[in-house]
Structure 1
Amino acid sequence: MNRVSNVDLALAALLLEAAIGYPAFVYRAIGHPVAWMGALLSGLEMRFNRPAAQDIHRRMLGILTLFVLLAATAGAAFILDRIFSRGPVGAGLLILAASSLLAQRGLHDHVRAVADALQRDGLEAGRKAVSMIVGRNPDCLDAAGVARAAIESLAENFSDGIVAPAFWLAVGGLPGAACYKATNTADSMIGHRTPRYAAFGWAAARLDDLINLPASRLSAFLLVLASIAVGGPPQDAVAGSPQDAVRAVLRDAHRHRSPNAGWPEAAMAGALGLQLAGPRVYGDTLLDDAFMGNGRREATVADIIRALRLYQAACVAQWLVLFAIVVIWRH
């Protein structure tokens, strides 16, 4: 049996992860690859991030830290890729390893938990649930703010947690996707504009911006496609549409403070008839960001459910795109 092609690997890993997620018994037994990356990065950061050093030195040490993290990750992934390179058992293990770098099922469950908490137990429960998936201060959020935060997280993480690792799986196999996850993990841990990380995490933040460029645009495209299939909301709501999604992306995506997050957020906002992003509070700091979309600000639990349906359709659209590539490639 020939080795699994990268595109086949991406499609199979997406389907497997959608079916079983990352099993709890596996997590209890060996942890998770992202946790391993985070542990290595935490140790490197404690060793190399020296607050007393000049910014230029801290930036260079941050580059060194990122290089060590990526070298270790790429080396481990390459070894696994070689070990699992042939045979049906090897192919199955390779697909299983690749599926651990995706988060379709987990993302859906976390966002659904916010909707359930808001609907069943009220605002405080919703704030607690949404604090598990966003970095902003939940105490500043009303019910509509909690719903918007969940939807924004769903849109951004669709790109970062699903489309991007699948893209790099298709392009670079297991090593490509693993290095993407290592960079994304580094950005989430040290890529902050704070006194501690502004210089040290500069390389991680810039590289993460760069490698997410293709996936963020693709994510917006998939969400627009999904909006065609999902259709409009109930009659008593203000409808979004595929046309609104396209208009929001073209008008608003480039105005977001992130070069990437605005694309899926704008597409989601237009498709749902909402206005997302805008000013938000992180800790005690007000972040004055641009608005995505020009619909309602008063998001509801029903909007979270609609966003999840849109997300599911976008995941299916990604599978179909990869399947089409496999068919075309083989012919």
Structure 2
Amino acid sequence: MNDLLVLLSQHPTLLAMWGALALHWLLPIPASIHPLLVWQQIAIELAARVNKATDTPRQRMLSGALAWSLMWMTILILLIAFYQLVWIDSLFHLVLLWIALGWRDSRRFSQHFIQAYSREDKASCKAQLSVALNRNTDTLSLLGLGKACAETQLLSYGRQVAAVLFWYAVAGGFGAILYRLAVSLARCWSPSRKQYQYFGLPAIRILAALDIVPLRLLAVAISVGKNSRDAFRGLREQGENWQLPGPGWLLTATGHKLQLALGGPAIYDTTKLERPRLGGRIAPAALHLSQIDRLLQQRLWAWVALQSVCMFLMGSLL
């Protein structure tokens, strides 16, 4: 037993990951006081000052790139400065990962929406999606609400759990929190909103680059198992059809594995955006949304186990 404790103590980053996961589930940060809420408010205020409608598209893109760099680099510098003051490195990484994780929030949204959807409570479904999406949900039918929820489940679990853990493995707590901040900026300044059509392009492009590896790994993990042949065939045929490469694989793999119809037209503000149709032909019902949630839960715990083994072995080799 003592030998095991000594061995584990030699892997502080791995222990910090487990500690952050435990803390995240046992002591979640209330949404009303979450540091990311302050970050988003600052991002909106900054955009209001520098994103001017009278500027040319090129100038607005440049303003977006400079604003993104200012916010992201400021946090990076502050983190580096604080890191010089900490006594226990692993505790610092634990806290950053704890803040970055959104597993419990994704799970809560999924459960609450499925309950409302099973009752065909369109008002409740629209209210929940309006918080999670940048899209107009007022005109969505029951079918549209189901498809929107499926996409939200996949991207929420993918970005707030799998990708956060991936970047934690790459760069510790710094990688986890900086990735999550990039996600927040892309959401606040989404180019799907008319006022951020050009200003938000740098933010969404940076996020797309950060998403490619972790979301595609999660898509492969989802594809493995039952109906894997259909899922991998779908990835070959439709994986590159989506606007963003990471989310495209995630939606395609799940759609083909469960034979669900995902994607299709969506309304952002008052503009109808024609998006590719992905997956099978079955319209998502409450049962299918539960299947997606269960599938993602299983794959994410497998992700944690596999990442733990990799981090343990890499730490031993180093």
* Long gaps (5+) in structure 2: 1-8
Match of 1:154 in 2: 153
Per-residue deviation, 1:74: 0.9
Which whole-Å CA distance do the structure 1 matches of 2:313 and 2:264 have between them?
Answer: 42
Look up the SS of the partner of 1:281 in the other structure. Answer: strand
For the 8 Å contact 2:255–2:262, the answer to whether it is kept is: yes
Distance 1:246 1:15, change over 3 A: farther
User: Is the alpha carbon distance of 1:193 and 1:306 closer, same or farther for their aligned partners in structure 2, counting shifts above 3 Å?
Assistant: closer
The CA distance in 2 between the partners of 1:284 and 1:195, in whole Å, is 9
1:78-127 CA-partner distances (Å, limit 9, x unpaired): 344444452xxx63454133121011111011011111112236333323
* Whole-angstrom distance in 2 between the partners of 1:69 and 1:106: 25
Equivalent residue, structure 1, for 2:232: 246
Task: Give distance in 2, aligned partners of 1:47 and 1:122.
Answer: 39
For residue 3 of structure 2, what is the aligned residue in structure 1? none
- SS of the equivalent of 1:286 reads strand
Matches of 1:218 and 1:21, distance apart in 2: 29
Where 2:131 maps in the other structure, the secondary structure is coil
1:133 Cα offset (Å): 2.1
Match of 2:197 in 1: 198
Match of 2:4 in 1: none
Match of 1:20 among 26, 49, 52: 26
Deviation at 1:290, TM superposition (A): 1.0
Q: CA deviation at 1:251?
A: 1.6
Question: Residue 198 of structure 1: CA displacement?
Answer: 2.6
Structure 1 length-normalised TM: 0.84
Identify which of 7, 12, 28 aligns with 1:4.
12
TM-score for both structures, normalised by structure 2: 0.87
Q: CA RMSD in A?
A: 2.4
Residue aligned with 1:257, SS: coil
Q: Match of 1:123?
A: 122
Q: CA offsets per residue over residues 216-242 of structure 1, 9 Å max, x none? A: 2112022224xx3xx6xxxxxxxxx22
Which residue in 1 is equivalent to 2:54? 52
- Aligned amino acid, residue 4 of structure 1: P
1:10, CA displacement in angstroms? 4.0
Q: Partners of 1:134 and 1:193 in 2: how far apart?
A: 11
Q: Superposed, which structure 2 residues align to 1:298-309 within 5 Å?
A: 298-309=283-294
Percent identical among aligned pairs is: 19
Give the match for residue 293 of structure 1: 279
Out of 128-137 and 303-312, give the one that drifted further.
128-137
Report the Cα offset of residue 256 of structure 1: 0.8
1:189 aligns with 2:174: no
State the number of aligned residues.
Answer: 308
Pair 1:281-2:242 in alignment: no
Judge conservation of contact 1:73–1:178 (CA < 8 Å) in 2. Answer: no
Deviation at 1:318, TM superposition (A): 0.9
Aligned counterparts of 1:248 and 1:266: Cα–Cα separation in 2: 6
> Which deviates the most, 42-51 or 208-217?
42-51
Q: 1:130 to 1:20 in 2, by over 3 A?
A: same
Conserved? CA contact 1:85–1:91, under 8 Å? no
Report if the CA contact (8 A) 1:70-1:182 is conserved.
yes
Shift in CA distance, 62/281, structure 1 to aligned 2, threshold 3 Å: closer
SS at structure 1 position matched to 2:100: coil
Q: Which amino acid aligns with 1:190?
A: W
Shift of 1:289: 1.0
